[in-house]
A and B are shown apart, each in its own frame.
Chain A
Amino acid sequence: MKLKVLPKSQRIHNHYLVLDIKSEKELSKKEFTSIVWDGCVRFQGENNTSNFNLWTIELIEDDKYSFYNEYKAILRCQRDFEDEVRSSLALVNNYDRKHISITCIGISGTIKGCSKFI
């Protein structure tokens, strides 16, 4: 049996971060999610990270040709914790011994609103 959906006033409020990702290695959505969790747990600790309500909505590969792979991603996080998440992600430096950079280029209250940053 499925749980009944909470009333609107009881739900957690989320914000959506639009991320710009540059990586020497090709990334899958699963790998990206593990990078995000690892970065947050490392910088903020397990206790703080539990507040963030992280969820990868989408990982989009950019067509731009350069010497690195470029992606855009939409990441869900809980409202009022945006600064904690973006600072944790800004401090991610490498994955699998390859350079990676994650930086937040926009924040929106809705997934639809993220489209203007991509």
Chain B
Amino acid sequence: MIDLNIKGSSYDNNLILAMQASCYGWKHINFSYNHNEYEEALSFKNDLKDNLKDFIDIDYTLNIKSNNPSEIRKIIRRYRNKSSCISVLGGNLKVNRNCLENIQVDVLSKPYFKRYDSGLNHVLAKEAKENNVAIEIVFSDVLKSYLAYRSKILANFREVYRLYRKYEFPLILSSGAESVFDLRTVQDFKAVFAQTGLSDLDVENSFKTAANILEFNNDRKNMILSGVRVVS
């Protein structure tokens, strides 16, 4: 039960969110910060971890929001060793393509953001599979929309699911919560995605994918080349 995208803010707010998430059955959460806030957030990361060690595991995700692919590449190079997960906000087709071709990116978040389609096609789906870049679908997009706009987002989700079933790229589901009002229990979270067309197995696999990303990045220091790792 891993959530890689809960919007991080101050120390106190993070504490409240983490405690609530732990009550609702989550085992690990990642607070996401953009590159301007990330350094400051790192200063209280250890305190937060120590305070919450009996309840829930926490970590940070770097969330990059930019429409300039070369700027994104620069930010990734700067923060790759400092963060357990790097996600890039999609929506722009150039950004979507560049992220999915970049092996250093872990997650492409919301490829459908501010678009009338899912932002993915068969070419991008193949790239995601080849470079092991996960596509992230965010629960709060459905939660905070209503009527026609919500239907369109659900239609975009279904398009992503269709490509996921065909090309089997890594897919992760996250809450994108900003406050306690956006958090739900794990069972509710699963039920919503099951209703939108994902099977129970797909939902379980998405949690496993998130765990694999964290595990892979913890081991990144020991990687010499892709596929070659120092064992002892």
Q: A residues engaging B (CB < 8 A)? A: 20, 22, 42-43, 68, 83-84, 86-87, 89-91, 93, 99-101, 103-105
Docked complex Cα distance between A89 and B189 (Å): 11
Q: Contact at A86–B188, with CB atoms within 8 Å?
A: yes
Secondary structure at the A interface, as helix, strand, loop or mixed, is mixed
B192 / chain A contacts, CB cutoff of 8 Å: 87, 90-91
Contact (A42, B191) CB under 8 Å given A100-B181, A101-B183: no
Q: A99 — nearest CB in chain B belongs to which residue?
A: B181
A104 touches B188 (CB 8 A): yes
CB of A22 within 8 A of CB of B191, answer no
| A-B residue pairs, 8 tightest by C-beta | A90-B188, A87-B191, A99-B181, A101-B181, A87-B195, A87-B192, A83-B191, A103-B184
Cβ contacts under 8 Å, A99 to chain B: 179, 181
Chain B residues, Cβ within 8 Å of A91:
142-143, 192
How far is B188's CA from A99's CA once the two chains are assembled, in angstroms?
18
Q: Does B168 interact with chain A (Cβ within 8 Å)?
A: no
Residue among A68, A86, A90, A104 with max Cβ neighbours from chain B (10 Å)? A90
Contacts of B223 in A (CB 8 A): none
Question: Per-residue 0/1 for B146-165: is the Cβ within 8 Å of any A Cβ (1 yes, 0 no)?
Answer: 11000000000000000000
Q: Is B185 an interface residue (CB 8 A)?
A: yes
Q: Is the CB of A103 within 8 A of B194?
A: no
- Shortest Cβ gap from B185 to chain A (Å): 5
Within 8 A of A (CB), among B180-208: 180-185, 187-189, 191-192, 194-195
* B74 CB within 8 Å of chain A: no
The residue on A at minimum CB distance from B186 is: A103
Interface residues of B in 117-162 (CB under 8 A from A): 142-144, 146-147
B24 interfacial contact with A, CB 8 Å: yes
Q: Is the CB of A93 within 8 A of B144?
A: yes
For A24, the closest partner residue in chain B by CB is B181
Contacts of A83 in B (CB 8 A): 191, 194-195
Q: Which residues in B have their C-beta under 8 angstroms from that of A104?
A: 185, 187-188
Q: A83-B195, A86-B191, A93-B144 are in contact. Are A101 and B184 (CB under 8 A)?
A: yes
